[in-house]
Chain A
Amino acid sequence: MKFILKRLLTMLLTIWVITTLTFVIMHTIPGDPFSSDSDVLPEEVLNNMRAKFNLDKPLPVQYVLYLKNLASFDLGPSIESETRSVNTLIAEGLPVSALLGFQALVIAIVSGLLLGIIASLFHNRTIDYAAMTIAILGISVPSFILAPLLIKFFAVQWGMLPVASWGTWKHTILPSVALAAGPLAIIARFTRSSMLEVLKQNYMKTADAKGLGAAGIVIKHGIRNAIIPVVSFMGPLVAHLLTGTFVIEKIFAIPGLGKYFVDSIFNRDYPVILGTTIFFSVILIVTLFLIDLSYRLIDPRIKLSSRGD
């Protein structure tokens, strides 16, 4: 209990540091949300707009105002889209990105684990080499190359799936696969090397000697011990996949979260930059925390210490 409390406090502190740093960096970048309008609109109008979004106040005041709103989970208005707030943007984009990310995650974990385990069981045989070739290919081909290829063949040539955009479940298949390829390959390689390590252990021989079936040995003794390195890799992965990836969303014209983040930086849309950054950090930190907790479930020998890292 004490561990969890301490951890929660550190998480809050980290988010505060990230917020502050992002705030400082983003205001150091020259220009403001209205600098691109400065030739079109008269000076008074611009000043009125700045006043509306509190941009005329000194930075420390803006900072305190932002933190105050943040404390009540209000991420402020989006300057670029005028009528919508950052909370609305996230509420609209998240389900899309999260659905894609979740599907990609399931594909990557299930096939990655399977591929890795099979490769380790057939160590140095053809199946092993085939599985690892797939894995290395998955790491080698960047998503912005894989995605157009998928579109070209599955959508244009064979007409099996829609080319792009968002609508039915069919629209989600290609982007999910494109998102999953890289992580799948990494998970497969982690799993393989970690399984190879575990398979050498004496307790595996013991399990074999006491007459446990092959499947039982692999599932009960092998996977459970081999999965820890895989799990620690998954923290950042989960956060990245759930909050949308810009490249895939751009290629498939998907209205997810990734787009807002990149666009907002270009537009100097301060509230959206801060809002999406904080949102991403919260997801990342919470996932890392959950993963630390899950270590305990996977391997009871691991003690949770409040000293972190």
Chain B
Amino acid sequence: MLEKASHDSLFRPLEKGRLKKEEIRRPSVSQAKESFRRVLKNKLAVTGAVILLFILFFAIFGPKMVPYSYSDQSLASGNLAPDGKHWFGTDDLGRDMWARTWYGARISLTIGVAAALIDLVIGLLVGGISGYMAGRGKLGDRIDNGLMRIVEILYSIPYLLVVILLLVVMKPGLWTIVIALSITGWVSMARVVRGQILQIKQQEFVAAAQKLGTPHGTIILKHLFPNMLGIIIVNLTFTIPNAIFAEAFLSFIGLGVQAPIASWGTMANDALGVILSGQWWRLFFPGFLISLTMFAFNVFGDGLQDALDPHQVKD
């Protein structure tokens, strides 16, 4: 009874032409736009991005907010705890920690970004050539093999040795450290790029382009490169913090930027001796900011990784 009643009242034949069968109901969205939307939906990734913007803002304007420069010493006001005058306190030479911390942010971020960009360029070139040439006749295989052996050897010599060699040969300073970090740092980027190219060039659309007689350059730029963009950007968000880490480590063993220039690494190293005597602010501010930057890059990178993954279902 019930079934029959509902059948009669709830279902009506559809008028012809009232619904367009193949209408595209949502606006077509490019991969980039869709990824952007997905990042915005990921709260953690947005938090990371906001934190990074904050740190960038203070790195640019922070040192100018106080009437002290990062290198002004005043022994009379040494080792002061944070107060209204010195927002982050002072170190043993009476230098203002606020100015030093944000000046250090500049140094650390510059080193991180510059080293990551150099890694990216060299890694793209070497990894790209290696991956593209692999399986392209005897010569191609030889080029691929040669480049990969170089990569392996660079991977295995102790990088500290190379860094020290460079620091001794060149004048110590910001750019020496950048070069020292990127001279061995591009290796992992090259491996990632090569792996990606090897995988992508097997796919049908590349074969199709080749059959149509598309020149190599166009295939690389138009077909291979856009498909690797996601993984490259994600890799970048991981190499920048790694470079900041590496600089902090070099500073920690006394090979970083030279005093009076400050970086987060040198400040943390200077603070080690005094942490037990209760001057917590010496370690806290640079330490907290390193950790916060790492955290922000990591969650932002994770969010990007998810968002740029083309296999994710649009929702």
Instruction: Report whether B253 and A21 are in contact in the complex, using a CB–CB cutoff of 8 Å.
Output: no
Instruction: Report whether B252 and A151 are in contact in the complex, using a CB–CB cutoff of 8 Å.
Output: no
Query: In the complex, A141 Cα to B253 Cα: how many Å?
Result: 18
A57 within 8 A of B: no
Q: Which residue of A lies closest to B297 (CB)?
A: A140
Instruction: Report whether A281 and B156 are in contact in the complex, using a CB–CB cutoff of 8 Å.
Output: yes
Q: CB < 8 Å: which of A18, A251, A261 contacts B156?
A: A18
Q: CB-CB contacts of B52-96 with A at 8 A, as 1s and 0s? A: 000000000000000000000000000000000000000000000
Q: Which residue of A lies closest to B275 (CB)?
A: A148
User: Hey, which chain B residues are within 8 Å of A136, CB to CB?
Assistant: 295, 298-299
Q: CB-CB contacts of A135-161 with B at 8 A, as 1s and 0s? A: 011011110110011011000100000
Query: In the complex, A18 Cα to B149 Cα: how many Å?
Result: 12
Q: CB < 8 Å: which of A14, A29, A152, A251 contacts B165?
A: A29
User: Hey, which chain A residues are within 8 Å of B169, CB to CB?
Assistant: 29-30
User: Hey, which chain B residues are within 8 Å of A141, CB to CB?
Assistant: 287, 291, 294
Query: In the complex, A156 Cα to B153 Cα: how many Å?
Result: 45
Query: In the complex, A56 Cα to B138 Cα: how many Å?
Result: 46
Q: CB < 8 Å: which of B248, B276, B287, B295 contacts A151?
A: B276
Query: In the complex, A26 Cα to B160 Cα: how many Å?
Result: 11
Query: In the complex, A281 Cα to B152 Cα: how many Å?
Result: 12
> How far, in Å, is A107 (CB) from chain B's closest CB?
20
B192 within 8 A of A: no
Instruction: Report whether A145 and B295 are in contact in the complex, using a CB–CB cutoff of 8 Å.
Output: no
Instruction: Report whether A273 and B291 are in contact in the complex, using a CB–CB cutoff of 8 Å.
Output: no
Q: CB < 8 Å: which of A26, A31, A137, A148 contacts B161?
A: A26
Instruction: Report whether B294 and A22 are in contact in the complex, using a CB–CB cutoff of 8 Å.
Output: no
**How many interface residues does chain A have, given as a range?**
35 or more
User: Hey, which chain B residues are within 8 Å of A111, CB to CB?
Assistant: none
Q: CB < 8 Å: which of B161, B275, B291, B292 contacts A277?
A: B161
Q: With A25-B165, A148-B275, A152-B276 known to touch, is A247 a contact of B252 (CB < 8 Å)? A: yes
Query: In the complex, A151 Cα to B287 Cα: how many Å?
Result: 15
User: Hey, which chain A residues are within 8 Å of B168, CB to CB?
Assistant: 29-31
User: Hey, which chain A residues are within 8 Å of B164, CB to CB?
Assistant: 29, 265-266
Query: In the complex, A55 Cα to B12 Cα: how many Å?
Result: 100
B245 within 8 A of A: yes
Query: In the complex, A144 Cα to B294 Cα: how many Å?
Result: 14
User: Hey, which chain A residues are within 8 Å of B280, CB to CB?
Assistant: 152
Q: CB-CB contacts of A155-198 with B at 8 A, as 1s and 0s? A: 01000000100000000000000000000000000000000000
Q: CB-CB contacts of B123-156 with A at 8 A, as 1s and 0s? A: 0000000000000000000000000100011001
**How many interface residues does chain B have, given as a range?**
20 to 34
> How far, in Å, is B152 (CB) from chain A's closest CB?
8
Q: CB < 8 Å: which of A22, A30, A142, A144 contacts B157?
A: A22
Instruction: Report whether B158 and A280 are in contact in the complex, using a CB–CB cutoff of 8 Å.
Output: yes
User: Hey, which chain B residues are within 8 Å of A246, CB to CB?
Assistant: 253
Instruction: Report whether B272 and A137 are in contact in the complex, using a CB–CB cutoff of 8 Å.
Output: no
A284 within 8 A of B: yes
A28 within 8 A of B: yes
B268 within 8 A of A: yes
> How far, in Å, is A173 (CB) from chain B's closest CB?
18
> How far, in Å, is A165 (CB) from chain B's closest CB?
14
Query: A19-64: which residues lie under 8 A (CB-CB) from chain B?
Result: 21-22, 25-26, 28-31
User: Hey, which chain A residues are within 8 Å of B275, CB to CB?
Assistant: 148, 151-152
Q: Which residue of A lies closest to B191 (CB)?
A: A309
Instruction: Report whether B290 and A145 are in contact in the complex, using a CB–CB cutoff of 8 Å.
Output: yes
Instruction: Report whether B165 and A247 are in contact in the complex, using a CB–CB cutoff of 8 Å.
Output: no
B35 within 8 A of A: no
Instruction: Report whether B272 and A142 are in contact in the complex, using a CB–CB cutoff of 8 Å.
Output: no
A304 within 8 A of B: no
Instruction: Report whether A21 and B291 are in contact in the complex, using a CB–CB cutoff of 8 Å.
Output: no
Q: With A21-B157, A145-B291, A247-B249 known to touch, is A140 a contact of B165 (CB < 8 Å)? A: no
Q: With A29-B165, A251-B272 known to touch, is A142 a contact of B290 (CB < 8 Å)? A: yes
Instruction: Report whether B298 and A139 are in contact in the complex, using a CB–CB cutoff of 8 Å.
Output: yes
Query: B233-276: which residues lie under 8 A (CB-CB) from chain A?
Result: 245, 248-249, 252-253, 268-269, 271-272, 275-276
Q: CB < 8 Å: which of A140, A144, A156 contacts B276?
A: A156
Q: CB-CB contacts of A108-146 with B at 8 A, as 1s and 0s? A: 000000000000000000000000000011011110110
Query: In the complex, A22 Cα to B169 Cα: how many Å?
Result: 16
> How far, in Å, is A21 (CB) from chain B's closest CB?
5
A262 within 8 A of B: yes
B162 within 8 A of A: yes
Instruction: Report whether B160 and A265 are in contact in the complex, using a CB–CB cutoff of 8 Å.
Output: yes
User: Hey, which chain A residues are within 8 Å of B295, CB to CB?
Assistant: 136-137, 140
Q: With A145-B287, A156-B276 known to touch, is A25 a contact of B162 (CB < 8 Å)? A: yes
- What 10 A-B pairs come out closest when comparing CB atoms? A140-B294, A145-B287, A140-B295, A141-B291, A140-B291, A148-B275, A21-B157, A29-B165, A277-B158, A18-B156
Q: Interface residues, chain A, CB within 8 Å of chain B?
A: 14, 17-18, 21-22, 25-26, 28-31, 136-137, 139-142, 144-145, 148-149, 151-152, 156, 163, 246-247, 250-251, 261-262, 265-266, 273, 277, 280-281, 284, 309
Q: Identify 16 new A-B residue pairs, CB closer than 8 A, beyond the known A140-B294, A265-B164.
A: A14-B152, A22-B158, A25-B161, A29-B164, A29-B168, A137-B291, A140-B295, A141-B294, A142-B248, A144-B249, A145-B283, A163-B276, A265-B160, A277-B158, A281-B156, A284-B156
- 30 A-B pairs whose Cβ atoms sit less than 8 Å apart in the complex: A14-B152, A22-B157, A22-B158, A25-B161, A25-B165, A29-B169, A30-B168, A30-B169, A31-B168, A136-B299, A137-B291, A140-B291, A141-B287, A142-B268, A142-B291, A144-B248, A144-B249, A144-B269, A145-B268, A145-B291, A151-B276, A152-B276, A156-B276, A247-B249, A247-B252, A250-B253, A262-B160, A265-B160, A265-B164, A266-B164
